[in-house]
């Protein structure tokens, strides 16, 4: 397996060309910034800035949602997408929140991203200093750090990447690098089953504990590609869907509502979980709904955006457990 | 224990105008008896029932919530309750997952001629809720 | 400033007997925005309604709550009363403290707090009511009937007799449909043409009916009362005004083609009328089989035409016309005989379908009414009929019953007996369905007076033996295998929806089921309406049925159309969905939910910062929206709201009841 950094030069070359030719006015990619273990989204607007672009297994944040900022603007925006990002793009397209013609998508195949928290923790503990390159060698990741080359095993893969079937982006205008075989662990929703096995009282206690930490920063909503409404229901004062009080009841209402609004449209990118500053296991909410939707309505891949989403259709012979 | 000793279950019921509300009316015209636990909110179709209304009811301390609509296939608006069915299938599981006791949420198909079924539903549901005690929200608030 | 008046009804002792009215009145006084409370013995009575009107005027009320019986009972009554006092009728809410309270809770201690809760709910809800007006849309007083079979003809006649203009559209060169192909009709054995042709002529001559034959629907835009339909007038290559229908042209035409009307049993010329009693009795030229169009040589018809009516330069013409209502009467097909290998995949010439049999037995058919074997023209002595070929067959056919075959097979057996002395008929059946008026008697006569022999069982195989066919079946009542050497085998193949039914449905914007039959709005209570307001159904296109039911349904559809067209304007119910364009993201997840296709895409322009942005938002066609509110739940933002049951109102109702 080769790492994504293999295409860095080609990426910079292409972006340079696209910006110089005026085909795009902005390119959204990644750059290594003040925390080299956490590359951040970077908006290149001039051909010269293409040099700053990088792409490797530490480039985790999902960027397609930035397209909402360009809604209604003239011109084309270039976008670098990995598999999970392409599902986000599809989500935005199907929700009519972005137009295909306003994007120029450069896709790159990805065999899995690094868990940045885990890597950073190890780096700090062992004093690795900065990292300047990330390679893939077989199953392992090789980080070129100030303290030399460090190898990390597959256990440093992000949890969500283990079950990812979208190794190659599903939508792109050009693909950099080679296609990769789609191998993935089966989605067994084990973490959901764990909670399903609890008693009602245990579940209530569990979720109260999780939700009590919520500070309503809305990071989960902000990063989610399915949460793309112009005016979010939680900003509305009329009607008062959500109170402003910071009590567990309101936090619960927020997460309950967001999970249901996203149900059937979630692309399982796991960004919500990753960005939560207080580590609420948000994926356990979305994946519960995803699992049920898949089982109840016979949808093999409930995370794949489709023509009509599951709650916008029905079959007369849908399961019915109500008398 | 500072919740009222004289606690009586309070159930919020969403009934569609054409079937379940009419069924409830029929229970009335037939003078059937059932506990005074239920408070009905009329909607044109069970498809109008947003899960957020249900969550709000639980949040404000409702001991039980009932959603009653036409039998699938008989919706006055032809397809409304097919969407209700999908949504409610998901919702029952999700509420349970979040720790709401499944016996506190009920979905039933009650036609305009099923007055008896409405009365029976309220009676059975009330007893189930009574056995569970007041909503946890009420317990916490006190 | 909301000024709510609450009127609590005793309803005699119906409410007062089990609800403490005084306590309710007292509690109501303390509810938010309530400025006036009154109780009445019978609020729905004349004095009761007067009291409400008085109070509105005296106390300047701008919202009214009536705590009484079910709104399903008297909401309209009280709306009218309130309107009579000059208040918008939609500023009223009913608290159902009778059917939902006093009648089901016999003790005052249980019922009274509940009654108070219910009144509070209504008080809080009515505060969110806004004045609403019934919308008005104009109605084009013209109807389009698509399909010129008996269903379409009947519907057109009825609508025309009601005084409205009708366009009767038919895609074949002549009206008449399937009934024109039939010989005699059950259960009376009336000659089909004899009862049909007078109606065909009446339709052609009716001052309110415009006949458009050899035309198809290309596109349908608009909505109820305001349909804009583009029609394709196919080129006939014959000038309808100058042609006299003399018939010289088709007498001379050298071109030959398989006659669709004769179900392939005979040939017709390239310039042709489909059958002698065609209305209009003027020909069309079939381009594909015309020598001139194929080779550039001929034009015999033009040479001999005494009025110069042939015009090879004609082209299809597209015209757009306005209509207020549309009736769909596009008819049916029957299953081909080549489906079943057991019956020869249609390769045996003497295994025919029931429709082919109708043509053989018809006096103006290819054999002049003599039942002759297609293979050698001999008169058959033993005729076997097989029922349920394709019907009630989940494996190779359709699961439903085609409804007409048991009756027409009995009819066929009777005709064989009458026309061929000494002939014997055998009918393999599963069940005999003869449910209409005089149907059972007819079927019994086929057996008792016409010696039809009914064998309960299926036919496993037909194979040729010399000149005959051996039909191998089972007699399940005797529990024996049966083999019959037959001269002619008639298959009662299944009724099917037209092959292009799906396309037609999509053009019109109506629904169709898995078999291609168009879907009615409600199977029992609205069998002639569709979910698309203003479009109605008649005849087989909605489902298999016989002629009496077809005609009845056609008249039913016509009545609906006449009612619609008799209005100057259509008043639309104001409790409909509404989209807040500012909030709407343009995701359109509301669209697939609507059963009436009432949600449209609308382009708007907005000023954002210093740019003008064009974007699409959802827009509700209030003429078509029925106010179910299902779309509102699909809308995450709550941009889609339902007037009279807004999100805010429902949330506040929940709050009011949970206190």
Q: pLDDT of A106-149, one tens digit each?
A: 999 998 999 999 999 999 999 999 999 999 988 899 999 999 99
Under DSSP, is residue C263 helix (H, G, I), strand (E, B) or coil? Answer: coil
Same fold, C235-315 and C577-643: yes
Interface contact flag, A96 C616, Cβ < 8 Å: yes
Mean pLDDT value of segment C176-198:
95
Nearest-neighbour CA in chain A from C579: distance (Å): 14
Q: Tell me how far apart the alpha carbons of residues A125 and A118 are, in angstroms, rounded to a whole number.
A: 11
- State how far the Cα of C328 lies from the Cα of C144, in Å rounded to an integer: 8
Q: Which residues of C touch A97 (CB under 8 A)?
A: 585-587
Which contiguous run of DSSP H or E holds residue B117? helix B115-132
Give the CA count within 13 Å in the CB-facing half-sphere of C51. Answer: 19
The pLDDT of residue C47: 94
Q: Residue C415 contacts by C-beta under 8 Å, 6 or more apart in sequence?
A: C183, C184, C361, C371
In the stretch 131-170 of chain A, residues with CB closer than 8 A to chain C read none
User: What CATH homologous superfamily does C335-495 map to?
Assistant: FAD/NAD(P)-binding domain (3.50.50.60)
Q: Would you state the pLDDT for residue A246?
A: 84
Distance spanning both ends of chain A, measured CA to CA = 54
Q: Is C7 left (phi over 0), alpha (psi -120 to 50) or beta?
A: beta
Token pair in block for residue A320:
């019915």
Give the residue numbers in A contacting B (CB under 8 Å), as ranges: 192, 195-196, 200-208, 241, 249, 252-253, 256-257, 259-260, 263, 288-289, 292-293, 296-297, 310-312, 314, 316, 318-323
Which residue on chain A is closest to B111 by alpha carbon?
A: A323
Burial C491-530, CB ≥16 within 10 A → b, else e: bbbbbbbbeebeebbebbbbbbeeebbbbbbeeeeebbbb
CATH of domain C135-233+322-331+498-571: 3.50.50.60
Let me know: does C403 contact C546? Beta carbons within 8 Å: yes
Query: How many Å apart are CA C364 and CA C261, to the nearest integer?
Result: 11
C4: CB partners within 8 A, 6+ apart: C31, C33, C34, C35, C36, C61, C62, C63, C64, C65, C123, C126, C127
Residue of A nearest to B105 (CA): A322
Class of domain C235-315: alpha beta
Substitution target from C19, C73, C93, C104 for chain B, most B beta carbons within 10 A:
C104
Q: Is residue B121 within 8 Å of residue B29, measured between CB atoms?
A: no
The rounded distance, in Å, linking the Cα atoms of C387 and C446 is: 15
- Cβ atoms of C85 and C56 within 8 Å: the answer is yes
The gap between the terminal CA atoms of chain C, to the nearest Å, is 24
For C216-227, how does the pLDDT look when each residue is reduced to its tens digit (9 = 90+)? 999 998 889 999
- Rounded Cα gap, residues A66 and C423, in angstroms: 84
Average pLDDT, chain A: 93
Mean of pLDDT values over A181-206:
90
pLDDT tens for C151-186 read: 999 999 999 999 999 999 999 999 999 999 999 999
pLDDT the model gives residue B1:
42
Let me know: does A194 contact A283? Beta carbons within 8 Å: no
Q: Is C401 exposed, middle or buried (0-12, 13-18, 19+ CB in 10 A)?
A: middle
- Given a cut of 70, is residue B77 above it in pLDDT? yes
**pLDDT over 50 at C650, yes or no:** yes
Of C72, C113, C531, the CB nearest to B25: C72
To which H or E segment does residue C352 belong? strand C351-353
Contacts with B33 from chain C: Cβ below 8 Å: 104-106
Q: Does residue A50 have a pLDDT over 70?
A: yes
Span A283-288, mean pLDDT?
96
Q: Chain A: give the shortest CA distance to residue B85, in Å.
A: 7
Cα distances (Å, whole numbers) of residue A143 to A56, A150, C358, C508: 10, 5, 85, 63
Is the bond leading into C280 cis (omega within 30 degrees of zero)? Answer: yes
Nearest by CB to residue C651, choosing from A97, A239, A261, is A239
Q: How far is B48 from chain A (nearest CA, A)?
A: 14
Give per-residue pLDDT as tens, C437-494.
999 999 999 999 999 999 999 999 999 999 999 999 999 999 999 999 999 999 999 9
Q: Which residues contact B124 (CB under 8 A, 6 or more apart)?
A: none
The answer on pLDDT for B141 being more than 70 is: no
Cβ neighbours for A195, distance < 8 A, ≥ 6 positions apart: A203, A206, A284, A288, B97
Q: For residue C258, what pLDDT is reported? A: 95
Contacting residues of C for A241, CB less than 8 Å apart: 638, 647, 651
Element (H, E) at C150: helix C150-161
Please judge whether B45 and C628 are an interchain contact, meaning their C-beta atoms are less than 8 angstroms apart.
yes
pLDDT at C343: 94
Cβ within 8 Å, pair B22-C633: no
How high is the ipTM of this complex? 0.95
Contact C645 B31 (CB under 8 A): no
Segments making up each domain of chain C, as ranges: 4-128, 135-233+322-331+498-571, 235-315, 335-495, 577-643
Tell me, yes or no, if A241 comes closer than 8 A to chain C by beta carbon. yes
With beta carbons less than 8 A apart as the criterion, state whether C480 and C474 touch.
yes
User: Hey, which residues does C426 pair with through a beta bridge?
Assistant: C384, C453
* Two tokens, residue A55: 């792409």
Residue B110 CA to residue B107 CA, distance in Å, equals 10
Neighbour-count burial for C557-588, b at 16+ CB within 10 Å, e otherwise:
bbbbbbebbeeeebebebbbbbbeeebbbbbb
Instruction: State the pLDDT confidence band at C619, using cuts at 50, 70 and 90.
Output: very high
Q: How far is C105 from chain B (nearest CA, A)?
A: 6
Average pLDDT in the C98-118 region? Answer: 94
Residue in C615, C637, C647 closest to A231 by CB:
C637
- Alpha-carbon torsion angle C365, C368, C373, C379, nearest 10: 150
In the block, residue with structure tokens 């069982």 = C457
Please list every residue in chain C whose beta carbon sits closer than 8 Å to the beta carbon of residue B43: 629, 645, 650
Tokens of C499: 């092959």
Contacts of B22 in chain C (CB under 8 A): 72
Average pLDDT, whole number, for chain C? 95
Query: C99–B80: do the CB atoms touch at under 8 Å?
Result: no
Chain A residues lying within 8 Å of C588, measured CB to CB: 96
Residue A204 sits at φ, ψ, to 5 deg, of -60, -45
User: How far apart are alpha carbons A14 and A29 in whole angstroms?
Assistant: 12
Which chain B residues in 44-83 lie under 8 Å from chain A, judged by CB atoms?
Answer: 51-52, 55-56, 59, 72-73, 79, 82-83
Q: What residues of B are in contact with residue A318 (Cβ under 8 Å)? A: 72, 82, 85-86, 89
Residue C545 is encoded by which pair of tokens? 């049925």
CA dihedral C500, C504, C509, C511 (to 10 degrees): -40
- CATH node for C577-643: 3.30.70.3270
Architecture per CATH, domain C4-128, reads as: 3-Layer(aba) Sandwich (3.40)
Give yes or no for A237 touching C (CB within 8 A). Answer: no
CA A19, A21, A26: angle at the middle one, nearest 5?
Answer: 25
Instruction: DSSP letter for C583, please.
Output: T
Element (H, E) at C122: helix C108-127
- A250 SS3 class: helix
The size of the A-C interface in CB pairs under 8 A is: 62
From the list C267, C279, C269, the residue with the least C-alpha distance to C249 is: C269
Strands C569-572 and C382-389: unpaired
A 57-76: CB under 8 A from C: 71-73
C233-240 average pLDDT score: 96
To which H or E segment does residue C654 belong?
helix C647-658
CB C111 within 8 A of CB C101: yes
Contact of B61 with chain C, judged by CB distance below 8 Å, is answered with yes
Position A170 confidence tier, pLDDT thresholds 50, 70, 90: very high
Q: Which of C104, C521, C651 sits opposite B28 (nearest CB)?
A: C104
Q: Residue C490 CB: number of other CB atoms within 10 A?
A: 32
Q: How many residues does chain C have?
A: 659
Contact B79 A314 (CB under 8 A): yes
Residues 79-138 of B with CB under 8 A from C: 79-80, 83, 87, 119
Query: What pLDDT is recorded for position C575?
Result: 94
Most confident of A89-103, A166-180, A181-195: A89-103
CB B55 within 8 A of CB B61: no
Cα C582 from Cα A231, distance rounded (Å): 8
Directed axis angle between helix C647-658 and helix C108-127, to 10°? 150
Mean pLDDT, range C521-545, rounded to an integer = 91
SS3 A196: helix
Q: How many CA atoms lie within 13 A of C49 on its CB side?
A: 15
Give the chain A residue nearest B99 (alpha carbons). A204
Q: How many CB atoms lie under 10 A from the CB of residue C531?
A: 22
């Amino acid at each position: 397996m080769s790492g994504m950094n293999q295409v860095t030069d080609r990426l910079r070359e292409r972006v340079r060309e696209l910006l110089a030719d005026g085909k795009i006015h902005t390119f959204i990619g990644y750059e290594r910034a003040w925390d080299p273990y956490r590359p951040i989204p970077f908006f290149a607007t001039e051909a010269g800035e293409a040099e700053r672009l990088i792409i490797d297994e530490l480039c985790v944040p999902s960027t397609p949602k930035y397209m909402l900022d360009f809604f209604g603007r003239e011109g084309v925006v270039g976008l670098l997408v990995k598999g999970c990002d392409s599902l986000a793009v599809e989500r935005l397209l199907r929700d009519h929140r972005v137009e295909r013609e306003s994007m120029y998508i450069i896709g790159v195949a990805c065999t899995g991203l690094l868990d940045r928290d885990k890597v950073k923790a190890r780096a700090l503990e062992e004093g690795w200093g900065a990292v300047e390159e990330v390679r893939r060698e077989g199953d392992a990741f090789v980080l070129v750090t100030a303290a030399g080359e460090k190898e990390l095993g597959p256990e440093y893969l992000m949890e969500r990447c283990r079950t990812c079937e979208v190794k190659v982006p599903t939508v792109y205008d050009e693909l950099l690098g080679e296609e990769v075989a789609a191998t993935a662990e089966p989605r067994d929703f084990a973490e959901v089953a764990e909670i399903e096995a609890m008693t009602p009282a245990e579940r209530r206690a569990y979720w109260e504990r999780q939700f009590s930490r919520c500070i309503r920063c809305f990071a989960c909503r902000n990063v989610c590609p399915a949460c793309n409404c112009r005016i979010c229901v939680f900003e509305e004062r009329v009607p008062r869907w959500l109170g402003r009080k910071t009590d567990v009841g309101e936090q619960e209402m927020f997460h309950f509502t967001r999970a249901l609004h996203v149900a059937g449209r979630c692309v399982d990118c796991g960004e919500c979980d990753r960005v939560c500053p207080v580590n609420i296991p948000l994926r356990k909410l979305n994946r519960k709904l995803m699992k049920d939707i898949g089982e109840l309505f016979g949808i093999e891949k409930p995370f794949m955006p489709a023509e009509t989403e599951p709650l916008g259709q029905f079959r007369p012979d849908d399961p019915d457990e109500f008398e | 224990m500072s919740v009222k000793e004289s606690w009586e279950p309070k159930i919020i019921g969403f009934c569609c105008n054409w079937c379940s509300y009419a069924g409830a009316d029929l229970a009335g015209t037939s003078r059937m008896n059932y506990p005074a636990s239920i408070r009905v909110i009329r909607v044109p179709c069970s498809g109008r029932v947003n899960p957020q209304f249900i969550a709000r009811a639980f949040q404000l301390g409702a001991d039980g919530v009932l959603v009653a609509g036409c039998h699938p296939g008989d919706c006055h608006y032809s397809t409304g309750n097919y969407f209700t069915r999908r949504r409610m299938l998901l919702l029952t599981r999700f509420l349970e997952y979040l720790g709401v006791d499944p016996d506190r949420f009920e979905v039933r198909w009650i036609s305009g001629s099923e007055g008896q079924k409405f009365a029976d539903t309220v009676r059975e549901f009330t007893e189930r809720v009574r056995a569970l005690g007041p909503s946890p929200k009420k317990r916490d608030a006190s | 400033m909301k000024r709510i008046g609450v009127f609590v009804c005793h309803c005699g002792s119906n409410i007062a007997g089990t609800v403490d009215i005084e306590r309710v009145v007292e509690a109501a006084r303390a509810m938010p925005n309530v400025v006036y409370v009154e109780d009445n013995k019978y609020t729905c009575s004349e004095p009761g309604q007067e009291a409400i009107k008085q109070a509105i005027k005296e106390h300047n009320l701008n919202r009214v709550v009536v705590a009484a019986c079910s709104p399903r009972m008297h909401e309209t009554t009280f709306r009218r009363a309130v309107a009579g006092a000059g208040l918008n009728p939609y500023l009223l809410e009913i608290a159902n403290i009778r059917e939902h309270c006093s009648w089901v809770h016999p003790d005052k201690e249980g019922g009274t707090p509940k009654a108070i809760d219910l009144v509070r709910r209504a008080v809080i809800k009515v505060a969110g009511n806004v004045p609403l007006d019934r919308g008005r849309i104009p109605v084009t007083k013209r109807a389009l009937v698509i399909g010129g079979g008996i269903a379409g003809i009947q519907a057109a006649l009825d609508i025309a007799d009601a005084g409205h203009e009708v366009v009767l559209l038919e895609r074949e060169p002549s009206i008449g449909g399937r009934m024109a192909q039939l010989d005699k009709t059950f259960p009376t054995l009336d000659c089909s043409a004899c009862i049909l042709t007078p109606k065909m002529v009446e339709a052609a001559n009716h001052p309110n009916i415009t006949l458009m034959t050899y035309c198809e629907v290309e596109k349908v835009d608009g909505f109820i009362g305001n349909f804009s339909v583009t029609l394709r007038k196919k080129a006939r290559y014959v000038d309808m005004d100058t042609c006299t229908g003399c018939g010289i042209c088709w007498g001379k035409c050298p071109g030959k083609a398989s006659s669709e009307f004769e179900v392939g049993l005979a040939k017709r010329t390239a310039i042709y009328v489909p059958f002698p009693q065609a209305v209009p009795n003027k020909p069309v030229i079939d381009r594909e089989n015309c020598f001139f169009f194929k080779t550039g040589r001929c034009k015999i018809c033009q040479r001999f035409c005494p009025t110069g009516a042939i015009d090879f330069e004609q082209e299809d013409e597209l015209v757009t016309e306005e209509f207020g209502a549309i009736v769909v009467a596009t008819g049916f097909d029957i299953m081909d005989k080549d489906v079943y290998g057991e019956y020869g995949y249609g390769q045996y010439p003497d295994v025919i379908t029931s429709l082919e049999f109708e043509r053989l037995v018809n006096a103006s058919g290819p054999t002049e009414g003599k039942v002759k074997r297609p293979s050698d023209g001999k008169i058959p002595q033993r005729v076997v009929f097989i029922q349920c070929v394709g019907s009630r067959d989940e494996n190779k056919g359709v699961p439903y019953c085609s409804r007409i075959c048991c009756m027409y097979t009995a009819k066929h057996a009777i005709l064989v007996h009458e026309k061929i002395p000494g002939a014997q008929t055998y009918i393999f059946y599963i069940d005999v369905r003869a449910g209409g008026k005089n149907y059972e008697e007819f079927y019994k006569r086929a057996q008792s007076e016409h010696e039809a022999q009914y064998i309960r069982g299926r036919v496993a195989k037909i194979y040729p033996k010399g000149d005959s066919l051996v039909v191998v079946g089972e007699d399940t009542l005797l529990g024996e295998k049966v083999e019959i050497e037959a001269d002619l085998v008639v298959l009662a193949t299944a009724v099917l929806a037209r092959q292009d039914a799906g396309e037609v449905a999509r053009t019109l914007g109506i629904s169709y089921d898995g078999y291609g039959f168009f879907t009615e709005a409600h199977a029992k209570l609205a069998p002639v309406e569709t979910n698309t307001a203003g479009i109605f159904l008649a005849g087989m296109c909605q489902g298999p049925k016989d002629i009496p039911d077809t005609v009845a349904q056609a008249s039913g559809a016509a009545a609906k159309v006449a009612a619609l067209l008799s209005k100057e304007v259509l008043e639309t119910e104001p409790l409909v969905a509404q989209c807040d364009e500012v909030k709407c993201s343009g995701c359109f997840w509301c669209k697939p939910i609507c059963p009436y296709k009432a949600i449209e895409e609308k382009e708007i322009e907005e000023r954002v910062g210093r740019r003008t942005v064009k974007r699409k938002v959802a827009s509700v066609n209030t003429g078509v929206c029925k106010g179910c509110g299902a779309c509102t739940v699909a809308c995450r933002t709550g941009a889609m709201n339902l007037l009279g049951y807004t999100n805010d109102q429902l949330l506040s109702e929940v709050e009011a009841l949970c206190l």
